[in-house]
C-alpha cells in the first residue's frame, strides 16, 4: 500500500500549480500573438491599398506632367521659330539693303573659300 506524507502532497500541489501557470501563460501569449498577427495583416493590407492608390496617382500626375511638358516644348519651339523668322530678313531686297548698310559701316566682306577647300584628298 502507498503512503503519502503531507510533504509529498505539498510537492504535488506545487508541481500542479506550476503546470497550471505555464499553461495559462502560454494561452495568454498565443492569444496576444494571434491579435498582433491580425493587426499586422490588417496594417499590411491597408499599406498595400495605399501603395496601389499612390501608384495610380503617380501615373496620373506623370501623364499630366508629360502632356504639359510636350505643350511647353511645342510652345518654346513655336516662339523660337517666330523669333528667328522675325530676326531674319524677309526678302532679297532687304538682304541686299542689309549688305549695303554693312559695307557702308565698314564691315569686312566674306571671301570665297579656295577651290578644293574641305574636300577629302585622295589617299592613293
In angstroms and rounded to an integer, the radius of gyration of the C-alpha atoms of the chain is 46
The reported pLDDT for the residue numbered 14 is 96
89's CB contacts (< 8 A; 6+ apart) are 95, 98
Q: If pLDDT is split at 50, 70 and 90, which confidence band does 25 have?
A: very high
Q: Domain locations in the chain?
A: 7-88
Q: What are the tens digits of pLDDT across the range 40-84?
A: 999 999 999 999 999 999 998 888 888 888 889 999 998 988 888
Q: If pLDDT is split at 50, 70 and 90, which confidence band does 38 have?
A: very high
> pTM, whole model, 2 decimals?
0.42
Cα distances (Å, whole numbers) of residue 81 to 78, 87, 106: 5, 10, 31
Q: What cell does 88 get?
A: 531674319
Q: What cell does 53 get?
A: 492608390
Amino acid at each position: 500500500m502507498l503512503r503519502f506524507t503531507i510533504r509529498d502532497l505539498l510537492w504535488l500541489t506545487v508541481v500542479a500549480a506550476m503546470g497550471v501557470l505555464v499553461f495559462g501563460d502560454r494561452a495568454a501569449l498565443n492569444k496576444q500573438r494571434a491579435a498582433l498577427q491580425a493587426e499586422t495583416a490588417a496594417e499590411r493590407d491597408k499599406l498595400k491599398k495605399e501603395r496601389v492608390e499612390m501608384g495610380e496617382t503617380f501615373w496620373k500626375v506623370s501623364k499630366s506632367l508629360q502632356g504639359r511638358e510636350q505643350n511647353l516644348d511645342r510652345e518654346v519651339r513655336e516662339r523660337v521659330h517666330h523669333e528667328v523668322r522675325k530676326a531674319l530678313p524677309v526678302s532679297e531686297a532687304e538682304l541686299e539693303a542689309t549688305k549695303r548698310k554693312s559695307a557702308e559701316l565698314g564691315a569686312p566682306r566674306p571671301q570665297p573659300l579656295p577651290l578644293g577647300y574641305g574636300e577629302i584628298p585622295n589617299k592613293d
